[in-house]
Amino acid sequence: MKKLIFSLGILFLFACSKTSPNNQNDNPITPDKQIFKEPSPTVGTNFVRVKNQDVFNELIFDNVNTEGNKSYGSLIVSKTNGYPVFDGNESARFELRNGDCGWNSGFNDCATNRMRTEMYEVNPQSEIGKIISYTENIYIPAQSKFRPAGNNLMVLTQINYSDTLNTFGALAYLVMENNNTLLIRTHKDFTWDWNKNYTITTTPYDRWITIKYQIKVSDKSDGELAVFIDGNKLFSEVRPTLITKSGRVYMKFGIYNSFTDRATEPFQTQIMYFDGIRKN
């Protein structure tokens, strides 16, 4: 299963640059700013395949890339050292510097205009017929050009599907667009054509935002994808969420830049935080 996710991952964003509908359901949220200065030097511990109930509850995550990962790329950090934390004592910090890229047996980000520090859920189980949810809390510190302008793509979370028949795709993904617009994007059925963009906010920095993805897992028309922002429903799409009964839904998160050659500005160091990630 791990090889399938890796080998098919390169397909994800090659096809995501198609028809671009206008943003839907513009729903900016009220800022609750917690401005802080990024601690220096960075202090944290690696969390690859490590259980950390404070940050991830029962979930375990691993790097999408097996090679080229940086020591600073993904770390558990503590509020004792001055880092933002949603609850408990720790959060997950991601840092991506210009030129950071990696690879595995299935694809090479360095050769395909990609940069990422991204994690995937280890051993997701088939949930056919169930309603499941993933909840995450994100914090993006205000920083110069967190996402450079251009037709490049910046993805911060993916809710994906895959199965034993080599099908793969994204049900929803969290995108930082131009002009500081944070949104959820969906596709038309199981194609790579954009369906809708659902705007979360145009002021995403220096505060925690809680995002809940709720999925009725079904290969029939009674499936459903819904997303809630800070407890309020952003949207719901009634649709199949798996192509076949053998499929499963899983989560990826971190900082993932694709089509980097389409950026019209230089990439700067990108930093963000996740906390309270859980699956119900």
Please give the pLDDT value at position 167.
78
Please give the pLDDT value at position 30.
46
Please give the pLDDT value at position 265.
95
| Tokens 């089509």 belong to residue | 259
Please give the pLDDT value at position 110.
97
CATH of domain 2-279: 2.60.120.200
Please give the pLDDT value at position 34.
52
Please give the pLDDT value at position 185.
98
Stretches where the chain sits below pLDDT 50 are 1-32
Please give the pLDDT value at position 35.
56
pLDDT per residue over 151-179, tens digit each? Answer: 999 999 999 999 877 778 999 999 999 99
Please give the pLDDT value at position 75.
98
Q: Write down the domain spans for the chain.
A: 2-279
pLDDT per residue over 92-140, tens digit each? Answer: 999 999 999 999 998 999 999 999 999 999 999 989 999 999 999 999 9
